[in-house]
Structure 1
């Protein structure tokens, strides 16, 4: 089990280190990153590996993680995108949001999440996922993803469902608009 120290944040915005598993067991608010890699109106999804300690086998956005204590959010986003998906792309900040979600097994994600986007040409990138993190990946249009989540929500992580439901905050709404204009 991962005993890394991640970054918790109290109601006043003060940061302090906490064990990753401890934060999830106690539902402590902590910093997180979420990355969406997009290409021509499609989003790169990953299916979480079966060995993940929460939400195994569920579809999620391209990459999600928690900065290590003392690590910047941008550094974490770049590091985890490379580690999980084997991608090194230019990221841009896309907003900040808070959410709380039960992820099963008595664990809670209580996240102050910084969202990042990267655009690429899906035909020109080579995705090399870490099999300990990702069991499979695929590109999907935002409209198809909306339909899939409506039809089978339990196949997707709680946070991806939240991101899609709060599309204005995550920047996903812009992808819906871009696709509609094409």
Structure 2
């Protein structure tokens, strides 16, 4: 069973929980990541979450999100989930928003509550999505103009503040990651 890393307010690991049961009306703070994938033409990979997902089914969002397993380096988790969800091999990966955090509730009351560092990733192959994870995808120009998931909507202004061209976004400071991500 997949586990998530539970966090205290300082970002220290305080335990684990089953991913399948952690998201509810009182979701505890836990460690996650978001990734924004770009190809060689600097197009952004937009994905639509599978309709069977527990949280935000069918919603368009950033390329890939996930949770590092207990003891797994967060960069390794990004690489693992991109391979699992989208069949992608990573060419480059770089931290861009080390301290992003959010809490949002779905209309049914289920809450996402995450410390969620954000990564820029480049790939050179085409996605082969797992239908249990990704309903569909599109390569689009940056910035995307479609309404996206609540966390992506919160991340976009911060990413755009880094500059108009994702290739030139400065790397984030790894020392600003939640302690549990190091």
Segments of structure 1 that go 5 or more residues without pairing to the other structure are 150-155
- RMSD of aligned Cα (Å): 2.1
Larger helix percent: 1
Give the distance between the partners of 2:96 and 2:117, measured in 1 at CA.
7
SS of residue paired to 1:101: strand
Segments of structure 2 that go 5 or more residues without pairing to the other structure are 169-182
- Structure 1 residues 95 and 165, CA, compared in 2 at 3 Å: closer, same or farther? closer
CA contact (8 A) 1:54 1:105 kept: no
Q: Does 1:112 align with 2:110?
A: no
Give the distance between the partners of 1:99 and 1:161, measured in 2 at CA.
11
- Structure 1 residues 130 and 95, CA, compared in 2 at 3 Å: closer, same or farther? same
Partner of 2:78: 77
Give the distance between the partners of 1:13 and 1:177, measured in 2 at CA.
29
Partner of 1:158: 150
SS of residue paired to 1:166: helix
SS of residue paired to 2:48: strand
- Any idea what the Cα deviations from partners look like across 1:147-176, whole Å, max 9, x if unmatched? x33xxxxxx21111111133357x5x4437
Give the Å deviation of 1:70.
2.0
Question: How many pairs does the alignment contain?
Answer: 163
Larger strand percent: 1
SS of residue paired to 2:165: helix
Q: TM-score, normalised to structure 1's length?
A: 0.79
Q: Does 1:6 align with 2:8?
A: no
For residues 78-157 of structure 1, the aligned pairs below 5 Å read 78-89=79-90, 90-96=92-98, 97-121=100-124, 125-143=125-143, 145-146=144-145, 148-149=146-147, 156-157=148-149
CA contact (8 A) 2:89 2:123 kept: no
